[in-house]
A and B are shown apart, each in its own frame.
Chain A
Amino acid sequence: MKFNKSDFDNMSYPVLSIPEDKTVLDRFPGLKIYREFQQDFARDTDKIHKYVILMYTSNILQSLQSLEERKIEAAKLAGFKMSHSRFDDKVEEILACRVPEINSLIIRVCCLERNEDLAELLIYEESYYRELKKLLDGESDKVKETRNNVRQFKEDIKELRKSLLNQDENKDLISKLYDYVEGIQLGISPEEIALAKKSNTIEDLIPNPSV
């Protein structure tokens, strides 16, 4: 192991300092309000929570240049065991972002950690499509300038996305991110509230401030 547990004390969710008899949700009960954290992965639930938090929030693991190396290190720190330099197939699937439920969890953690990046991404996406529409509709008087804008927005979006996903550009993960972004609304109209009540996700949209 290249790191000490104490190296992770400054994380927003210091999961490595949790006593052995406690889980991530015991230590951070506020996470329970998110349905992604309510998913049950049997006896791996707590390890998965730890892995996702270690891998996708800001911490010392970012000093590792290789994404693969970071994932392996995060999984080991989370408690997954290796055998002959390989993880169990299920764990490998998680690391490769091939488990949709866990990808949802990753997106939730990313958005919790980098809410501002997310907001910015929303704006850039909208601006990007607005500029793109101008080009397609032939509405722009300054085609060259608009084209440059589109290019610039695209670059910016790519950067933001990387930042948001903690440099992980896995396609499945990006796809999940966009699913999530498209689902984001203001969440303040009676219609949005009513839908959330009906789908039993109201506590995701409007968390209870007293909890």
Chain B
Amino acid sequence: MAAGTPGVASGAADGTGRTTPGPGSVVVRAVVGGWRGLVWYLEGMMGADAYKKYVAHHRAVHPGVEPLGERQFWREKMDAEDANPQGRCC
């Protein structure tokens, strides 16, 4: 269901396949695109998009099976981290 990776530079796609509903000026579009690109980048880096990615994956691989709810997903994710800790660097 997903379109290609939203480009940070072009920033036209927001990750759901929709494109920016063209606001009048090129500048506004560039600012909106840049902002979306930034949000997309930071969310990815912090792992804030984990649920979105999980749902997309789940829909593609197990169609017809209902994915976990958001609350439940994060609980299981945190429990998994409890059971499998990762070091941080010095």
Same complex: no
Which residues of A are in contact with B by a Cβ distance under 8 Å? none
Which residues of B are in contact with A by a Cβ distance under 8 Å? none
